[in-house]
Structure 1
Amino acid sequence: MRFASSLLLTTALSFAIALPAQSQEFRTVRVGGETASPLLGGALLALLMFAIGAAGSDTRAAPPAPPPPPDPTPPDPDPVYAPPGGYQGSLRPRYVIGVTPYAGDPRLSAEPGDAGGFEVPEYLAGQFAGPINAATRYAEGAFGAGALVSVFDTGVDPAHPELAANLTNGLSHSYFSGPMTDLTGHGTHVAGIIAALRDGSGMHGVAPEAQIMALRAIDGPESERSGRFYENWEDAMLRSVEAGADVMNNSWTFVDQNGDPLRITGFADRAAAVTFFGSDLIGTMAYSAQQDLVSVYAAGNGNGGESSVAAGLPLLISELRDHWVSVVALGEDGLIADYSSRCGVAMSWCLAAPGTNLISVSAGGGYEFQSGSSMAAAVVSGSLALLKSNFPEITGATALRILKETARDLGEAGVDAVYGHGAIDLAAAMRPVGVLNVQMSGVMNERVAPLSGSGIVAPAGVASAFQAALSTSRLAVTDGYDRSFQVPMAAMVGTEGVTSPLPDLTRFTMRGASLGGPVETGTYLSRGAPVAGNALAMPDPSRFSGGHAGLIGDRAVSFTHMGEVASGLRFGVTGAHGAADGTGLASLSLSADIGSALFTVESGRVSERDGMLGARFHGAFGGVSATTEFLRASADLPLGRSGTLHLNASAGETSASGTGLLRSAHLRSESVGIGLSRVSDRTGSRMSIGLSRPVSVRGGELDVLVPIGVGAAADGVASSEVRTQSATLGVGAAEAPIDLQFGYEVPLGAARLGVAVSHRAGAPAGQGTSASFGVSFKF
């Protein structure tokens, strides 16, 4: 039941908002907005528009002729709603972030887009996009496409070139007779702040690709309006829900006979609100919130004091609190405007936004200044449209929560009675919040790995191949709001550093204990370890013939037995185990003396647990195990009486499987080395120098499972779907580094002790150099 008092107040609203206040610098305009002084505002606007080269008038155009007299009995609002619209949930460009894939590695980042490139005259003209940092969002490709905002106001000029493309005529509706018009320009100005086109001229809205659904119900002929405002308001909410609107903008307030806003504090409790608005309207409000429609209300131009009754309703109607926001206006200095109401008791669901001297489109063409909490509310509605457009997976309630929780604090610390949560900041609202997780299954949060501990750390000859293969893929990660962000997968591959040197101990074992000359028969036990430095491979103090055997890892123990099968022909069996990571090696070799030269062929297999070709996989990439079968050939050719030329080449085929994002791999790889050594006739010690290229990828493919996004929210419920994509990525040849090695070894009875230094060509001064030692015993 609606009482006579509410009808009288509604009628008073119609007259009060139509009468300008002549004694104020800012005239009270219809439905809660204010315009600047026509002379001052027109001059400022003309100067600004001239400076930015924008088209348009600096004053209002003449209003169109009034509509013909209405039918004495206005028809009921059209009960047939348009088909649902709104965003379709397609994946849109996301905020691309940098990552640190593994602790101890340098930060690998993909820089976000250049926000400065969007801060052009058109962006600056409106004087609201800059203060809310909208350019940071535009730099990542989001402009509001797919979002729908309903504007319940005085209508919208459908012919204005800044709005025509974004106005959805099929969904728009006028509660007065005749076509869509705007007799006052208020609704047009508000709609322009939300979604005026980004077309290179004039100004553009906060969400210039969002769609506007105009619902004209204010400032129409009084005979058509009296006693029907509540019904129109209720119908507008239902139309907005049915159309799939994300946001409903309400830039108006209730006023009393003196033109002062009706404050929420004038209503004692829920019963008083139901009495004023009626149970039907309150029920529709609750229904719209249940359907995830976010309602934005101007706090009012009350020259201070509490928020208006409509803006502050969640104080009394708790069902609205997650989907309702009161907006106060900021002045050009970024502080609360003198004319604006305050958040007051509505501070828990209140935000602040620019509202003073904002330039937007005017009815009939051109542009104009206006000020008021009406304008501030439109800035918030456009910001919500950007959030919903960019993150279709979140609900409207979550979008509003993000805008509040990321707002820039003003006034007293925390939520306060003047600014509420503070000034909206789209740069903060768009950034990831909380822990970032990689979704590892098709169901949200069913299986996750933290992004901070996920990545691939590989030797240079492997890392560059992985980076190139993953360079076209983007990995979706989710933040604390379950929003999806994209990370370049190539940025999650780091080059191995000092934390994981890879000594090649079999270069001791295959040579045996003798100094120079043929390898002797016998059984050998070898052990080696790095001493210091940050090179990528342990130096070879004896010769350059390790190849794929170097994959057995740090601090491995190696066992070799060499037996003679014929004169000058020896057969070897080698096994090695990496104690740190469980990597294993098994190989068979055949060595032959041909004249004074020694030729060796070795065939073997390296098994890597939690790794592949020396790379280590962490977090979301973890669970990778690989087997590499290799064939190695080497030659020791005498040079003079005590010198030797060492040649080595190794080729391998790797098969891997994984339980994380990397599902399988098939790779080809190779390693080569060349060196010179000389044996001392007096001491039997050996000195060596040479060049080697560690194991590097020559080709193959990776099979990966890539999370690419999150399903769109529907009917006010966030989706639990994680969209994934399986891909087979070709792997090309990698550029491998060159290591310069120097070694020295001496006999100690039945043992041999070797030390070596290695430097990576092209490494910065003071980096890329390491030292190592090894010892081998003959039994």
Structure 2
Amino acid sequence: MLGGKSIRILAKSTWVTLWALCLSVGSAQGAPQLAVIDTGVSITQELSGSVVSGGYDFVDGDFDPTDLDGHGTIVATIALRTAGYADILPIRVLGSLGGTAVDVNTGIRLAAERPVVRVLNLSLGSSLSDPGIARAVLASAQAGQVVVMAAGNLSLPFPEFPAQHAVNLGGFGIIAGATDSTGSIASYSNRAGDSKDVFMVANGTFEGFAPNDPSDSTIGSQGTSFAAPRISGAALAILNAAPHLRGDQVVEILFSTATDLGAAGVDSVYGQGALNLTAALAPVGGLAAPTTSKTDGGGVPVVASALLVGAAAYAFLQRNPKAKSALVLDQYERPYVVDLGKVTTARNDKPGLNALMNSFRYENAWMDIPMGNKYTLSIRAASEKDLRVLNAFDYFENRAKQEEKRPDVAMSISAKPSENLQYRLDLNQDPRKGYGALGIQSKTYTQFLSERTFTAPYMGFASRGNSMHMNYNLGSRTRLKLGLANINDGLDNGLQSSAMMLEGSFQLSDTATVALQLGQLSEQGSLFGGSSGGIFGVDNTNTSAVGINGRYQITDNVAIIGSYTQGYTKVTDAKNSLLHNFSSVQSQAYGMGLVASNVWRQDDRFGLAISRPLRITGGKVDFTVPQSRDITGNILSETDRVSLRSDGNELDLEASYNWTVGKKTHLATYFLYQNEPLNLKDSSANRTLYGVVRRNF
């Protein structure tokens, strides 16, 4: 045996020493490799195809690093099982009699010289330090490799050498402590001590070889030797998926996703915590969809609000096959595949539902204050009472929480300068009220859940905004309405729009009225109420709309209503979007209904309607979906010219009934049946039933 410092394997109850020579081997190119600096690696059935050529045996001085001891084979097996796929470079520096610092030094330097080696596993240690090994480990870190070193098995309050040198590796080093079957620090494992910032733990138990693979009972079945390759394998798994990452980024991911154990935060026993492979492979930070051919830290965030689209545009995303495997990147630009259809949400295109819920949240309703002979100030304030919703959607729960963040006050100033002229300024109210076949509705509750179809479908997509309305009577049977609306509502995903509506109505007879609507809607950053910006964002849209409405009074208390509106939209592309080169977009909405009052009791209201909500009927767009990323960072995308026209045809059937019991209780029921909801062909029908009770105290 030659003289020199001895290096031992860090498997519990195992102590072998080895010796070696120095040999330089050229670098190689290929997939990320894990270098196992150990007793060599035998190609077992499980490791077949995972052990690469180019290794070296420093013990015997040849190119056959076959494991004659078993320890290195266990280390490689654990690393492979953790990574799922591994290219393992075996470097034999240990044998049954141990080894010298010179051999370990040269073995590490051999791995450091190979750019393809991205992770280094050192399941070995010594009670004595060696400057040559320290410099070799530093060279590995300076080469960009993740260096994982076992902490040692002497139950010390600090790691052994060379693990204790990890603090000097500039963020590229990890010390591996071991946990037992309970998940606590193993009794034999050295602790983090002052190296806590670069220390983490992992399971230190080896479960055994696969059936038909050789086993060596002389090798300990637990130790920090076997915790280290779990961390090495996790590092390799990260690099297999994202080879562009630097070694210090891999270490950062492993530490930031570790499960905290022991004292809160980084502590002197567990350091950063326990390896959490699932969290390490999951996205870190926000996801972004690359919108250019090269990743440079850019991209459009993929968050819930940015994946909310207008209901009219929702269907084309659901039917596009490439959207089912779109590439997105986390904050480290690691690629993930998502189904954009599944993570995209359609805006609830029935603001009447919001109005329904809001109307019952106000204890004070409206207060009218006369201001002279011509002006009236109306104020609505929020009630302090809670609204109890049974079996309702999370949407309303979230909406209620959002609304609590701002003063919930609505105001209206109206004036009547002359017999024929009236105007009204509204603050924080639904700008669509008062238009279309439904006309001016009660201020306390809505008539239909789908009332957008029967009012002004193209006057904005938020339930509240600021607006001005003017009515002018041209004669006893002809009336002109002009409305201007502005919506700037951060609670509705940054919705910003402005709209103009001109409506002329003519009373054909005492029972029949027809109205013509001309409208203009300008949306900033969205299409038909989608979120502002995001991967489906646009720069702006301008929609011109024309509609016809009718109302026929069968009796004093019963009327038939009808509405048809057609829109033509011009879209200006956004730079950071997956949608480009829009053609002209056509859309429509229509419906018929029956409204009645005093049906079964005084002042009750009944409604029955069939409607087709806003639906895109024509238009095309280039849809670019990122599909993959190569090792140099180039994004490979596919672009298709797709139709925006919906394959399905949503048809809504609904009934409503509102009535008052006594002076303090108001009851309302709403039933809505949606066939092919959101215009998704062959989708299951939705049935919604709401019962609302308001009690004044």
Match in the other structure for 2:107: 233
Check whether the contact 2:324–2:338 (CA below 8 A) recurs between aligned residues: no
1:249 aligns with 2:121: yes
Contact (CA 8 Å) 1:760, 1:769: kept in 2 or not?
A: no
SS of the residue 1:496 aligns to: coil
Match of 1:661 among 561, 574, 577: 577
Q: Indicate yes or no: 2:57 matched with 1:174.
A: yes
- Post-superposition Cα deviations, 1:317-337, rounded to whole Å, max 9, x if no partner, equal x3x241122222222333333
Deviation at 1:414, TM superposition (A): 3.7
Deviation (angstroms), 1:156: 1.5
Q: 1:703, 1:536 → 2: CA distance?
A: 37
* 1:207 and 2:74 correspond: no
Residue 215 of structure 2 corresponds to residue 379 of structure 1: no
Work out whether 1:766 is the aligned partner of 2:690: yes
Query: Structure 1 residue 647: deviation in Å?
Result: 3.7
Residue 157 of structure 1 pairs with residue 22 of structure 2: no
- Cα–Cα, structure 1 residues 668 and 448, in superposed 2: closer, same or farther, change >3 Å? closer
Task: Tell me how far 1:662 sits from its aligned partner.
Answer: 5.7
Q: Which has the higher contact order (CA 8 A, sep 6+)?
A: 1
Q: 2:183 aligns with which of 334, 340, 353?
A: 334
CA 1:161–1:221 in 2, change beyond 3 Å: closer, same or farther? same
In structure 2, which of residues 200, 203, 206 is the aligned counterpart of residue 351 of structure 1? 200
TM-score, normalisation: structure 2: 0.67
| Residues 506-521 of structure 1 mapped to structure 2, 5 A cutoff | none
* Residue type at the aligned position of 1:737: D
CA-CA distance at 1:76 after TM superposition: 7.0
1:192 to partner: Cα distance: 0.8
Query: RMSD over aligned Cα, in angstroms?
Result: 4.9
Residue 208 of structure 2 aligns to a residue in which SS?
Answer: strand
2:147 to 284, 290, 295: 295
Match of 1:418 among 269, 286, 289: 269
Partner residue, 2:72: 187
User: SS where residue 9 of structure 1 aligns?
Assistant: coil
| Separation in structure 1 between the aligned mates of residue 17 and residue 447 of structure 2, nearest angstrom | 71
Cα distance change on mapping 1:326 and 1:603 into 2, 3 Å:
closer
The residue identity in structure 1 corresponding to 2:124 is: W
CA drift at 1:603:
5.8
Q: Does 1:695 align with 2:544?
A: no
**Residue 293 of structure 1, CA deviation:** 0.7
Q: Does 1:612 align with 2:527?
A: yes
Q: Deviations over 1:551-601 (max 9, x none)?
A: 58645434567879xxx9x8x976431133542235687979699977666
1:361–1:310: structure 2 CA closer, same or farther, 3 Å change rule?
farther
Please give the per-residue CA displacement for 1:13-68, whole angstroms capped at 9, x wherever unaligned.
4xx779x9xxxxx6324369xxxxxxxxxxxxxxxxxxxxxxxxxxxxxxxxxxxx
Larger Rg: 1
Matched with 1:360 is: 209
2:404 corresponds to? none
Give 2:359's aligned residue: none
Measure, in 2, the Cα distance between the counterparts of 1:359 and 1:339: 20
* C-alpha contact 2:202 2:228 (8 A) present in aligned 1: yes
Shift, 1:193, TM fit: 0.8
Instruction: Give the C-alpha shift of residue 699 in structure 1.
Output: 4.9
Q: Which residue of 1 aligns with 2:95?
A: 219
Cα gap change, 1:483 to 1:696, in 2 (>3 Å): same
Distance 2:119 2:447 in 1: 57
Cα 1:523–1:336, aligned 2, differ >3 Å: closer, same or farther? closer
**CA–CA distance in 1 between the matches of 2:621 and 2:653?**
26
Q: Displacement of 1:157 after TM fit?
A: 1.5
Which residue of 634, 653, 671 maps to 2:589? 671
Q: CA deviation at 1:457?
A: 5.5
- Indicate conservation of the 8 Å contact 1:31/1:374, yes or no: no
Find 1:77's aligned residue among 3, 23, 30.
23
Look up the SS of the partner of 2:690 in the other structure. coil
Q: Which residue of 2 aligns with 1:262?
A: 127
Aligned residues: 569
User: Post-superposition shift, 1:221?
Assistant: 9.1
| Corresponding position of 1:117 | none
| Aligned partners of 1:649 and 1:673 also within 8 Å | yes
TM-score, length-scaled by structure 1: 0.60
Distance 1:30 1:573, change over 3 A: farther
In 1, Cα distance between the equivalents of 2:693 and 2:450?
Answer: 10
TM-aligned CA distance change 1:178 to 1:594, over 3 Å: same
Q: Report the Cα distance in structure 1 between the residues aligned to 2:510 and 2:266, rounded to whole angstroms.
A: 89
Are the equivalent residues in 2 in contact too, given 1:436–1:452 (CA < 8 A)? no
**C-alpha distance in structure 2 between counterparts of 1:217 and 1:410, whole Å:** 34
8 Å CA contact 2:593, 2:609 repeated in 1: yes
C-alpha offsets along residues 296-355 of structure 1, whole Å, 9 cap, x if unaligned?
12222335354222111235xx3x241122222222333333333333443332222221
CA 1:285 to 1:231, structure 2 compared with 1: closer, same or farther past 3 Å? Answer: closer
SS in 2 for 1:371: coil
Equivalent-residue separation in structure 2 for 1:599 and 1:214 (angstroms): 85
Q: Deviations over 1:401-433 (max 9, x none)?
A: 222233233344443443332321223333444
CA shift for structure 1 position 232: 3.4
Identical counterparts, % of pairs: 20
What is aligned with 1:108? none
SS of aligned partner of 1:30:
coil
**Is the 2:194–2:268 Cα contact (8 Å) retained in structure 1?**
yes
Q: Measure, in 2, the Cα distance between the counterparts of 1:687 and 1:85.
A: 74
- Matched AA of 1:492: T
Distance 1:77 1:632, change over 3 A: same
SS of match in other structure, 1:476: strand
The answer to whether the 8 Å contact 1:444/1:722 transfers is: no
- CA distance in structure 1 between the partners assigned to 2:524 and 2:650 by the alignment: 25
Shift of the 698–233 alpha-carbon distance from structure 1 to 2, 3 Å rule, reads same
Pair 1:304 & 2:223 matched: no
* Contact 1:524 1:560 (8 Å CA) reproduced: yes
Q: Is the 8 A contact 2:9 2:123 kept in 1?
A: no
Determine whether 1:404 maps to 2:255. Answer: yes
Structure 1 pair 338/405, CA: closer, same or farther in 2 (3 Å)? same
Alpha-carbon distance change, 397 to 632 in structure 1, aligned in 2, over 3 angstroms: same
> Structure 1 residues 723, 178: CA separation in 2 closer, same or farther (over 3 Å shift)?
closer
The one-letter code of the counterpart of 2:25 is: P
After TM superposition, the structure 1 = structure 2 runs for residues 399-548 of structure 1, keeping only pairs within 5 Å, are 399-434=250-285, 444-445=296-297, 451=303, 453-456=305-308, 458=310, 460=311, 463=314, 468=319, 472=324, 474=326, 476-479=328-331, 481=332, 483-485=334-336, 488-490=339-341, 491-496=343-348, 529=429, 531=443, 539=451, 546=455, 548=457
- Does residue 580 (structure 1) correspond to residue 487 (structure 2)? The answer is yes
SS in 2 for 1:177: coil
**Shift in alpha-carbon separation, 1:580–1:599, aligned structure 2, 3 A:** closer
Rounded to whole Å, the distance in 2 between the matches of 1:632 and 1:497 is 18
Pair 7,400 (structure 1): closer, same or farther in 2 beyond 3 Å: farther
Q: Aligned with 2:37: secondary structure?
A: strand
Rounded to whole Å, the distance in 2 between the matches of 1:536 and 1:174 is 81
1:611-650 maps to which residues of 2 (within 5 A)? Answer: 611-617=526-532, 624-633=539-548, 645-650=560-565
The answer to whether the 8 A contact 2:525-2:540 is kept is: yes
